[in-house]
Amino acid sequence: MAFDMFFIILLCITALTAAQCPDYTSYSSTPHGPFSGGIHNLSYQRPDPNCRTYYSAYTEAAIIRLKSVIIDPDLSRLFENSFPNTLDTTVKWTGHAANNSAEELAFVITGDIDAMWLRDSANQLQSYLPLLNTTATALSSLYRGVINLQSRYLLISPYCNAFQPPIESGLQPNQNGASDTVPPHYDPAIVFECKYELDSLAAFLELSTNYYTATGDLSFFANFQWLDAVRAVLNTATSMAIPTYAPNGSVNKLPYTFTRSTPDGLSTLNNRGTGNPVQSGTTLLRSSFRPSDDATIFQFLIPSNMIFARTLSTASLIASALNATALANEMTSLSSTLTTAITTHGIISDPTHGTIYAYEVDGYGSRNMMDDANIPSLLSAPFFRYLSANDTVYQNTRNVLLSADNPYFMRGPIISANGGPHDTPGYAWPMASIVRILTSSSTSSGDDDNDEIYTTLKELVASTNGLGLLHESINTFNAADYTRPWFAWVNGLFGQMILDLEKRKPEVLARSFG
């Protein structure tokens, strides 16, 4: 009898092995109890503990702590579901390099797209940065694993944005289903997609700096291929500084081009894969694609130049501490060149709002006045610490971006926020609402930014269609019409924002959102 009981319990425990765990794309598309009991009665969305992909005791402790800080039951449930989403659902594999058992590796997917993006994975880990304080925890191991795997990717295919599982994982590569022509050739067993995005390179530097600043673990950066990867980042970015024409009028050859057979105008590059011409002499860097993975219209993408300038400067401290002096000097020098170039070429005059940052320029005088919800955006510049939220040009820019003068500011009864052409007009991105809260300051709305934070947060809580997870984009008139039920980055970012509010504006977390 006792044996039978034991056997049955054992069966129950082993019943939910990974193979039997529900597919999280469909799981996250339907409600599950227990319900929050608030006016939105939000669903519980964490997978069964046996189905979670990674465990961090610090993260679990933070979830418990915030239950007594957040008063509103819907906001509390939204935090509980969203903050651990990367750890719960996307750490598809962790292990070690085949040729070096000390080299940790971690493969972190975006969510419902089964591949590892440089930008997304770096940001997914950044959600847990407030909890990273020593080298000895599960979180620090995950950071090292992602940095090492990103180093490997950058050494193999530095122009690409999204990657396949490492060979050591035994996981099968996936196809992105597109028909792309991308010289230089890449190996589809290693690369999932090859869109050249300057901010993907910055993401690696950001992730590295975050780990170094939080842990002081210098030896980690000396032990593996980090310095080589930084060299590859610099070579790649500067290789794309070539203007379209040489002084004698001949057309310069770019090291990277991209074309795709597609009905979508922003999924391919015109002019035989090179994009629109850029003028010489600006010293800005090109980005073929935006952080939305949409093509740039003018390749001097200002937010990506901003984040690259900022992360070069902070990551140079690691190179410098490693005595890689020439490399460190090159990083700080490029950083200050870019900062000057952004000020010279990226600031434009708007008849209503004064001097503002352009989203994209080409050096010929053409500029694109808009913002895109993905980070780096213009709105997020203080979040990635390129400038301070009280910067006058930033404040002018923010006023345009959060108004009907921005072609991609979406408005409606459900939610008002920036979107972008990736999900088309009419769809607002919760990520942009979160960035609005993260970049609010007393300068942005008189002396009381609490109203801006409260109103924006209230919209976010109401925007999940009762499901209790943040979505990629939402029809501003219909919360049931949304994209991507399982998008880990925005969920982690929401949690990061709540931890920021806990320190900066605890009174907001004590309010009711009913």
Indicate the residue type of 494: F
Smaller CB separation from ligand NAG, 220 or 359:
220
Site string for ligand NAG, 434-463 (x = CB under 6 A): ------------------------------
Q: According to the binding rule CB under 6 A, does residue 101 interact with ligand NAG?
A: no
* Residue 8 to residues 5, 49, 50, 255, Cα–Cα distance (Å): 5, 19, 17, 62
The tokens for 44 are: 């519980």
Site string for ligand NAG, 376-395 (x = CB under 6 A): ------------x-x-----
CA–CA dist 186, 397 (Å, integer): 39
Q: Edge-to-edge, what's the strand order for the sheet holding 367-368?
A: 300-301, 360-361, 367-368
DSSP 8-state secondary structure symbol assigned to residue 356: E
Query: Which element (helix H / strand E) includes 509?
Result: helix 506-509
Contact 469, 82 (CB under 8 A): yes
CB of 32 to ligand NAG, least distance (A): 10
Residue 108 CB coordination number (10 Å): 26
CB of 231 to ligand NAG, least distance (A): 13
Report the residue from 25, 133, 280, 445 that binds ligand NAG according to the rule CB under 6 A. 133
- Binding to ligand NAG (CB under 6 A) within 36-65 occurs at 37, 41, 58
Beta strand pairing status for 444-447 and 473-475? unpaired
- Binding to ligand NAG (CB under 6 A) within 388-427 occurs at 388, 390
Segment near ligand NAG (CB under 6 A); pick from 246-254, 292-300, 311-319, 468-476: 246-254
CB of 9 to ligand NAG, least distance (A): 30
CA–CA dist 347, 345 (Å, integer): 6
Q: According to the binding rule CB under 6 A, does residue 99 interact with ligand NAG?
A: yes
Please compute Rg for the chain using Cα positions: 23
Report the residue from 208, 225, 259, 440 that binds ligand NAG according to the rule CB under 6 A. 225
Smaller CB separation from ligand NAG, 316 or 475:
316
CA–CA dist 233, 125 (Å, integer): 20
Contact 29, 112 (CB under 8 A): no
Q: Is 455 helix (H, G, I), strand (E, B) or coil?
A: helix
Q: According to the binding rule CB under 6 A, does residue 131 interact with ligand NAG?
A: yes
CB of 512 to ligand NAG, least distance (A): 14
The tokens for 427 are: 């769809």
Site string for ligand NAG, 142-181 (x = CB under 6 A): ----------------------------------------
Indicate the residue type of 246: A
Could you tell me how many residues of this chain bind ligand NAG (CB under 6 A)?
18
**Alpha helix (H) ranges present in 160-301?**
198-215, 218-223, 226-239, 270-273
Report the residue from 17, 20, 30, 134 that binds ligand NAG according to the rule CB under 6 A. 134
DSSP 8-state secondary structure symbol assigned to residue 211: H
CA–CA dist 77, 471 (Å, integer): 15
Contact 403, 466 (CB under 8 A): no
CB of 100 to ligand NAG, least distance (A): 4
Segment near ligand NAG (CB under 6 A); pick from 130-138, 141-149, 182-190, 340-348: 130-138
Report the residue from 12, 250, 281, 446 that binds ligand NAG according to the rule CB under 6 A. 250
CB of 30 to ligand NAG, least distance (A): 12
The number of helix segments (H) and strand segments (E) in the chain equals 18, 18
DSSP 8-state secondary structure symbol assigned to residue 134: -
CB of 124 to ligand NAG, least distance (A): 18
Smaller CB separation from ligand NAG, 405 or 502:
502
Q: Could you give the angle at which helices 198-215 and 302-321 cross, rounded to 10 degrees?
A: 40
Segment near ligand NAG (CB under 6 A); pick from 35-43, 286-294, 334-342, 406-414: 35-43
Cα dihedral sign, 41-42-46-48: positive
DSSP 8-state secondary structure symbol assigned to residue 23: P
Distance of CA 12 to the CA centre of its chain: 38
Q: According to the binding rule CB under 6 A, does residue 510 interact with ligand NAG?
A: no
CB of 402 to ligand NAG, least distance (A): 19
CB of 33 to ligand NAG, least distance (A): 6
CB of 37 to ligand NAG, least distance (A): 5
Report the residue from 27, 35, 245, 454 that binds ligand NAG according to the rule CB under 6 A. 35
Segment near ligand NAG (CB under 6 A); pick from 243-251, 406-414, 423-431, 445-453: 243-251
CA–CA dist 384, 270 (Å, integer): 31
Q: According to the binding rule CB under 6 A, does residue 238 interact with ligand NAG?
A: no
Smaller CB separation from ligand NAG, 27 or 58:
58
Binding site for ligand NAG (CB under 6 A): 35, 37, 41, 58, 99-100, 131, 133-134, 222, 225, 246, 248, 250, 322-323, 388, 390
